[in-house]
Structure 1
Amino acid sequence: MPVLNSIADLAPQMTEWRRWLHQNPEIDFACHKTAAFVAQKLREFGVDEVNEGIAQTGLVAIINGQAEGPTIGLRADMDALPMQEETGADWASLTPGAMHACGHDGHTTMLLGAAKYLSETRRFSGRVALIFQPAEEGGGGGRVMVEEGVMDRFHIHEVYALHNGPGVAPGAFWTTPGPIMAAADTFRIEITGKGGHGAAPHNTCDPITAALAIGSALHTITSRNLRSGDDLVLSVTQVHAGTADNIIPAHAWLEGTVRTFAPEVRDMAEARLTEIVAGQAASFGVQAVVNYDRGYPPTVNHPAQAQFAADVAAEIVGQSNVAPDRRPEMVAEDFAYMLEARPGAYLFIGNGDSAGLHHPGYDFNDAIAPVGASFLTRLVETAQPL
């Protein structure tokens, strides 16, 4: 089954919605205009409920089917990123310092397209819960929505989400059973030594030398503490110290990220990082304080739901355009919290030859919106047939 005809006919409207959203990006939990736009469209479509103010600006809409049955959840993220757009598109961001550089405008549009179709046809049993979530980009809006009880309140028994993927053929799908994205932790190491004149280092306790040694030693966690085949990425991404060429400062600090899939690898990485910092600090005679923050957990697909979703995608685009067991990504997603709460799956849909995610030249490919909306629609109709 290709793209549904009525959704294909909706493509011009979906493009209009998406480009309005792209021009009006909002960050973190402050998705006020976005949520109002979504709520207005949903009411125009004739959904049965629009529940607003969840996780501040999130909302959940309900569409009832034609027979009794369970409730399936479909989630789209709505927030943008704090960066300046450089696409030069006619529909470029009108908000300085904010940009839809991850395609959440497209994700919201695909779910709106599915909502319009499902509210008109209702060829399914039970209910569908349309989850429009703020603050995916670091704010943990998915966690907040789960903590505020959306799964229990709306009796959701399974939940699914879709994300675009640059560099892959437009409309091609991929997913995998088990972990599909990593846990994302951050660390900050504050180093205190004794400053002084750059020409008299023997009178100082140099925090820069210690910082460089610590940064180098941390990378041995991956090369010397990890069993081959286990997945771990540790990157030192910031090093800050000093104010002038002839001053050895008293303070320095490093920051970075740790990405893992397995809980035991995550525990090991944190423990070894703390031990290495303590040992290196002692060897250089400085003091070092580690602040280690555990962020999003790994996004773990439930195998049965991942296979089911891949089969539905194959109905839309053909089996040759679906990869059901692709290697996981080391990026992170707060849909992880929803998959901890309920069975479900996360999939990617190819965005074509576009700039990468979180790049100032990125733009969502409007041509894939009807494909994604058709997939979400068929997911509901296949999971909960009449």
Structure 2
Amino acid sequence: MEAEKIKEDLIFWRRTFHQKPELGFEEIQTSQFVQEQLKKTGINYKVIGGTGVAALIEGESPGPTIALRGDMDALPIQDEKTVSYSSKVEGKAHLCGHDAHTAMLLGAAHLLVKNKPLKGNVKLIFQPAEEGLFGAETLIKHGVLENPGVEAIAGLHVNPMVPAGFVTCSQKEVCAAADFFDIEIFGVGGHAAHPHHSVDSIAIAAAVVSSLQQIVSRQVDPLSPTVLTIGQIHGGSANNAIAPSVKIGGTVRTLDPQVRNAMEARMEKVIKGVSEGLGGTYTFDYRYMYPVLLNDESLIPSLRETVQSVLGSDSFSISKPSMGGEDFSFYAQKVPGVFFRIGVRNEEKKAVYPLHHPKFDLDEDALPYGSAILAQYALNFFE
């Protein structure tokens, strides 16, 4: 495998990013490092959307353009690994594998420079701010899919639940639409010994939380996967006082657009009915974030062939959708897209922790696999 020849470079790039994690739209050093590597290989690029980088590898003659995307941002979580390349930045770490995604895309760039398409172009998108800050949407607004126009796009994500050397891909729905909400319940504060002189916001909030779960279990088709999770609740300041207000926050995940579009109204009806029925008032803020990520099914056969040619006949499998969110979905709304997951699990190397875990790490043997698959998939697109 040609990519194995740059394995040490891939590891060096990944560990450089890992030690210097940067949050969304703050990827200044990461972006500069990417630009330096592209310069070394003679690839033309431009900075886009603040810290994003869009590079273009032109084929020997004009033709269609396929894009490859890698995200660059880290998470606001403390790195708890005891390795030589752990994060050197307090409270920030690459615990979702974006350091590997960026390194793999750089590796693909090196491979494609040496094996340019005969006809067409490959656009490399080094994207900032995937973690909840709409980095993909920002780059789209800045024209990343234009000049030249992109006809298809591919992206990957590391998967610590699958061993290195294997790839999974969902047939259609890949990741759920991810929306978020905040609720505040208002009552009337007072002494805990005299609840009849108050309106207990905590009791109302408890009823609201319980009642909201009835939406998924009793109002949504069981065959339409839906998750409504309360992630935080805050209220009260003393054991002997009735809290005047309670704040609740959470997320809704859906795969069916019709279910997604109905959730806000269904939730407000429940919140309003319970709150006012028990003598309180409320505010409700519902925020639509990532749309559902859909693979273009016509792009999957070529991905299967590519993976099997790189990793072997048993290396590719179709997987169930995830209820996690992924902003690659914004690209896939604009052009045909395919998004797949590459295994990075290795128990001997302690690469066993899930994404976003403080001790998350990956098997770096998978780095050349990712580069090879991205590069070869792009070349196969032109055949």
The separation in 2 between residues aligned to 1:124 and 1:87, in whole angstroms, is 45
Whether 1:378 aligns to 2:376 is yes
**Letter of the structure 2 residue corresponding to residue 371 of structure 1:** Y
**Letter of the structure 2 residue corresponding to residue 374 of structure 1:** A
The separation in 2 between residues aligned to 1:181 and 1:307, in whole angstroms, is 20
Cα displacement string for residues 253-288 of structure 1 (whole angstroms, at most 9, x for unaligned residues)? 111110001111112222211100010011110001
TM-score, L = length of structure 1: 0.96
Contact conserved, 1:26 with 1:34, CA < 8 A, in 2? yes
Contact conserved, 2:302 with 2:380, CA < 8 A, in 1? no
Q: Secondary structure at the match of 2:123?
A: strand
Contact conserved, 1:45 with 1:120, CA < 8 A, in 2? no
Paired residues in the alignment total 378
The separation in 1 between residues aligned to 2:357 and 2:118, in whole angstroms, is 39
**Letter of the structure 2 residue corresponding to residue 94 of structure 1:** K
When structure 1 is superposed on structure 2, of 13-22 and 168-177 the one drifting more is 168-177
The partner residue of 2:11 within 15, 37, 43 is 15
The partner residue of 1:128 within 122, 129, 133 is 122
The separation in 2 between residues aligned to 1:280 and 1:319, in whole angstroms, is 56
Contact conserved, 1:170 with 1:352, CA < 8 A, in 2? yes
The separation in 2 between residues aligned to 1:227 and 1:95, in whole angstroms, is 45
Cα displacement string for residues 193-223 of structure 1 (whole angstroms, at most 9, x for unaligned residues)? 1000011111000100000000011011111
TM-score, L = length of structure 2: 0.97
The separation in 2 between residues aligned to 1:31 and 1:234, in whole angstroms, is 32
Task: Show the counterpart of 2:94.
Answer: 100
The separation in 2 between residues aligned to 1:364 and 1:29, in whole angstroms, is 24
Shift of 1:76: 0.1
Alignment of 1:96-245 (within 5 A): 96-245=90-239
Cα displacement string for residues 108-145 of structure 1 (whole angstroms, at most 9, x for unaligned residues)? 00010110111122144211000000000011100111
Contact conserved, 1:124 with 1:380, CA < 8 A, in 2? no
Which consecutive residues of structure 2, in runs of 5 or more, have no partner in the other structure? 347-351
The separation in 1 between residues aligned to 2:68 and 2:102, in whole angstroms, is 11
**Letter of the structure 2 residue corresponding to residue 252 of structure 1:** V
Contact conserved, 1:177 with 1:307, CA < 8 A, in 2? no
Segments ≥4 residues shifted beyond 3 Å:
none
Q: Secondary structure at the match of 1:174?
A: strand
Q: Secondary structure at the match of 1:253?
A: strand
Q: Secondary structure at the match of 1:194?
A: coil
The partner residue of 2:301 within 290, 307, 311 is 307
Contact conserved, 2:58 with 2:117, CA < 8 A, in 1? no
The separation in 1 between residues aligned to 2:355 and 2:88, in whole angstroms, is 19
Task: Show the counterpart of 2:353.
Answer: 355
Contact conserved, 1:114 with 1:374, CA < 8 A, in 2? yes
The partner residue of 2:22 within 20, 26, 39 is 26
Alignment of 1:266-345 (within 5 A): 266-324=260-318, 326-345=319-338
The separation in 1 between residues aligned to 2:78 and 2:160, in whole angstroms, is 19
The partner residue of 1:51 within 37, 43, 46 is 46
Cα displacement string for residues 18-54 of structure 1 (whole angstroms, at most 9, x for unaligned residues)? 101100100011100000000000110111x1111x1
Cα displacement string for residues 164-195 of structure 1 (whole angstroms, at most 9, x for unaligned residues)? 00121112111122210000011111111100
Inter-CA distance 39–145: structure 2 relative to 1 (3 Å threshold): same
Whether 1:365 aligns to 2:358 is no
Task: Show the counterpart of 2:244.
Answer: 250
What is the identity percentage for the equivalent residue pairs of Structure 1 and Structure 2? 36
Shift of 1:149: 1.4
The separation in 1 between residues aligned to 2:117 and 2:283, in whole angstroms, is 58
Q: Secondary structure at the match of 1:356?
A: coil
The separation in 2 between residues aligned to 1:204 and 1:34, in whole angstroms, is 54
The separation in 2 between residues aligned to 1:311 and 1:201, in whole angstroms, is 68
**Letter of the structure 1 residue corresponding to residue 322 of structure 2:** E
RMSD: 1.1
**Letter of the structure 2 residue corresponding to residue 62 of structure 1:** L
**Letter of the structure 1 residue corresponding to residue 46 of structure 2:** N
The separation in 1 between residues aligned to 2:307 and 2:301, in whole angstroms, is 10
**Letter of the structure 2 residue corresponding to residue 243 of structure 1:** S
Shift of 1:308: 2.3
The separation in 1 between residues aligned to 2:65 and 2:117, in whole angstroms, is 14
**Letter of the structure 2 residue corresponding to residue 290 of structure 1:** F
Q: Secondary structure at the match of 2:140?
A: helix
Which consecutive residues of structure 1, in runs of 5 or more, have no partner in the other structure? none
**Letter of the structure 2 residue corresponding to residue 110 of structure 1:** M
The separation in 2 between residues aligned to 1:261 and 1:271, in whole angstroms, is 17
The separation in 1 between residues aligned to 2:143 and 2:62, in whole angstroms, is 22
